[in-house]
Amino acid sequence: MSNKGKVLVRSAESFPLEKVGAGEGTSRSVMIGSDDAPNFALRRFVMEPGGGMPNHTNTVEHEQYIIRGSAEVGIGDKVYQVKQGDVVFIPEGIPHWYKADQEEGFEFLCMIPNKPDKIEIVDTGC
Amino acid sequence: MSNKGKVLVRSAESFPLEKVGAGEGTSRSVMIGSDDAPNFALRRFVMEPGGGMPNHTNTVEHEQYIIRGSAEVGIGDKVYQVKQGDVVFIPEGIPHWYKADQEEGFEFLCMIPNKPDKIEIVDTGC
């Protein structure tokens, strides 16, 4: 049953985390999903120290906020050092990857529109 | 000029805060706006200790994440105690208000769709 349109007040940590298959040491929870809200979804990603995601594209944009730790994030042909309190926008279709810090790991919010998303791993030729 | 579709990586604290007229001790920055991203906006609200917003409605829904401090938040006919790490969904049209903690203040992310928003203060009859 859809909860769309219902008030929600809940701790982020109370949402169950699920392993992200394409990632390494990476888990995700959907906190506000397409069944809960009409326009966009709020997810939380947790990466263990040294974990991450390989270079990939999505058919939807990402709006992100770093809530814990730090990471190297590759977006297009640039590499950024991001940390708690940083805001990141990744337009649809732009290749990107994550490598969490070896000591403290990395945790971020990732918001996407309620639209079909197709994830494709980018072949790096390695 | 629109930056829509451009990569953005930037500290939340580097975006200038502006006073929110209807609030008390409340400021806001737009970190990812409708000129930057196609579907929804990411804003940051900062409330001084004891600050807040009166009971009001919006024509758009709010998806929120508390990044610092705690507050009493009224949504519809209920009052919630919220704190760092909590997630809040307020459907469109539901009256809501905020009262930041007297000691530490309150800071949260508030995401809204790129749609026209009309704010109306709810007359409490006081």
Query: pLDDT digit string (tens) for A46-98?
Result: 999 999 999 999 999 999 999 999 999 999 999 999 999 999 999 999 999 99
Tens place of pLDDT per residue across chain B (126 aa): 556 789 999 999 999 999 999 999 999 999 999 999 999 999 999 999 999 999 999 999 999 999 999 999 999 999 999 999 999 999 999 999 999 999 999 999 999 999 999 999 997 655
Q: How far apart are CA A3 and CA A30, in angstroms?
A: 14
**Domain of A28?**
18-43
SS3 at position B52: strand
Band (pLDDT 50/70/90 cuts) for residue A2 is: low
B27 within a domain of the structure (yes/no): yes
The answer to whether residue B114 is domain-embedded is: no
Q: Mean pLDDT for chain A?
A: 95
Chain A nearest CA to B35, separation (Å):
12
CB contact under 8 A, A9 and B61: no
Q: How many other CB atoms sit within 10 Å of the CB of residue A77?
A: 7
| CA end-to-end span of chain B | 45
- Number of independent structural domains in chain A: 1
The answer to whether residues A106 and A100 touch, using CB atoms and an 8 Å cutoff, is yes
pLDDT number for residue A117: 94
In a domain, A75, yes or no: no
Q: Which residues, 6+ apart, have CB-to-CB distance to B118 below 8 Å?
A: B58, B59
Is residue A56 situated within a structural domain? no
Tell me the Cα Rg of chain B: 15
Residue numbers in B near A67 (CB within 8 A)? 65, 67
Cα A74 to Cα A96: distance, rounded to the nearest angstrom: 5
Interface contact B89-A61, CB threshold 8 A: no
> Does the residue A24 lie in any domain?
yes
B33 domain residue, yes or no: yes
Tell me A12's DSSP state: G
Residues 6+ apart with CB under 8 A from B80: A9, B72, B73, B74, B88
Q: Which of B89, B90, B97, B114 to mutate to test the interface with A (most CBs of A within 10 A)?
A: B89
Nearest Cα of chain B lies from the Cα of A125 at a distance, in angstroms, of 25
Task: State the Cα–Cα distance between residues A116 and A12, nearest whole angstrom.
Answer: 24
Tell me how far apart the 2 most distant CA atoms of chain B are, in Å: 48
A64 and A88 in contact (C-beta within 8 Å)? yes
Q: How far is B69 from chain A (nearest CA, A)?
A: 14
Q: Strand runs (DSSP E) across B5-101, as ranges?
A: 8-11, 18-19, 24-32, 40-57, 62-75, 78-83, 86-90, 96-100
Which residues on chain B place their C-beta less than 8 Å from a C-beta of chain A? 5-13, 15, 31-32, 36-40, 42, 61, 63, 65, 67, 73, 75-76, 78, 80, 82, 85-91, 94, 109, 111, 113, 115
Asked if residue B36 is part of any domain, the answer here is: yes
What pLDDT does residue B3 have? 64
